[in-house]
C-alpha cells in the first residue's frame, strides 16, 4: 500500500523513550496524555518502550483465549491486565519494540482504517530495513510474514479522534510466551520475531530507531 503523507507540512511530535517500564505505569501515562490531548493542552506525542512480561486483554477477549488462570500467570511473573483497546489478548515483553502514539487524527485523517493501515505500513517498512518482508492478511490486524506467521500486533482505542495504545513488534524470540494464550483469538498461528526472520543481527534499540524513522515519515512529523 502506498501511504501518502497526511499533511503538506511536517508537524512537531514529542517522543519519549521510556525503556523497559511497568505496563501499568505506561498505561497511566497514556491515559494522562490522552486526556490532555482531548482537552487541547497537549501536542501529539509518542511513547516508545518495552515491558516486563504481561498479558493484556482487549475488549474482544473471550475467557477461552487465556489458557491458564490469571492468578497462576501472575504468580509466574506475567500478570493479566484488562484494557480499553480493541482486539483480544496478547503478550507484551522486553523482547518487543512497543509504540504508543497519542495523536489527534484531526491533524491527519479521521479514518480508523487509514490509521491502522498506516501503523502497519510503519512496521512493514521497518522490517524491510532488516531484509524481512512483512505482509498484511485481509481481515486481520497487525503484520505477518505469511498467512499463518505473525510478527507484529496492533490494537488501539480512539476517543474524539485522539488515539492511545498502539503496536508491538516481536524483535527477539518470544513465541514460548504466547503459548499461555490464544493470540488475538486467532487460533493456531505461528508467532515469529525479527531476529528469527532476519539474516542480520538486531536489537530492540535498533528496531526502535527504524520504527521511529518510518513513523515520522508516514505521519509527516518532525522531532
The catalytic residue positions are: 184
User: CA dihedral in degrees (109, 57, 46, 219; nearest 10)?
Assistant: -30
C-alpha dihedral, 102 to 104 to 109 to 113, nearest 10°: 40
Rounded-to-integer distance, Cα 163 and Cα 47, Å:
12
Q: How far is CA 2 from the centre of its chain?
A: 21
- Residue 170's DSSP bridge partners are 96
In 3-state terms, what secondary structure has residue 83?
Answer: coil
| Cβ atoms of residues 118 and 143 within 8 Å | no
Separation CA 173–CA 107 (nearest Å): 36
**Residue 105 Cα distances to 13, 70, 110, 139, 206, angstroms:** 13, 35, 5, 23, 28
108 close to 216: Cβ distance less than 8 angstroms = no
Amino acid at each position: 500500500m502506498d501511504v501518502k503523507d497526511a499533511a503538506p507540512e511536517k508537524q512537531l511530535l514529542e517522543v519519549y523513550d521510556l525503556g523497559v517500564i511497568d505496563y501499568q505505569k505506561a498505561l497511566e501515562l497514556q491515559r494522562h496524555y490522552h486526556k490532555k490531548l482531548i482537552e487541547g493542552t497537549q501536542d501529539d506525542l509518542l511513547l516508545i518502550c518495552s515491558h516486563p512480561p504481561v498479558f493484556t486483554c482487549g475488549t474482544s477477549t473471550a475467557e477461552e483465549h487465556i489458557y491458564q488462570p490469571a492468578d497462576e500467570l501472575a504468580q509466574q511473573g506475567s500478570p493479566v491486565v484488562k484494557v480499553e483497546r480493541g482486539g483480544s489478548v496478547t503478550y507484551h515483553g522486553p523482547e518487543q519494540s512497543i509504540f504508543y502514539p497519542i495523536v489527534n487524527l484531526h491533524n491527519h485523517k479521521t479514518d480508523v482504517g487509514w490509521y491502522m493501515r498506516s501503523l502497519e505500513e510503519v512496521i512493514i517498512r521497518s522490517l524491510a530495513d532488516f531484509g524481512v518482508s512483512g505482509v498484511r492478511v485481509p481481515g486481520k490486524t497487525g503484520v505477518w510474514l505469511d498467512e499463518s506467521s505473525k510478527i507484529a500486533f496492533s490494537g488501539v482505542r480512539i476517543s474524539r479522534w485522539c488515539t492511545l495504545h498502539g503496536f508491538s513488534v516481536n524483535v527477539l524470540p518470544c513465541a514460548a510466551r504466547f503459548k499461555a494464550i490464544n493470540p488475538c483469538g486467532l487460533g493456531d498461528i505461528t508467532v515469529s520475531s525479527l531476529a528469527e526472520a532476519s539474516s542480520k543481527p538486531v536489537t530492540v534499540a535498533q528496531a526502535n530507531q527504524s520504527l521511529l524513522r518510518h513513523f515520522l515519515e508516514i505521519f509527516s512529523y518532525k522531532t
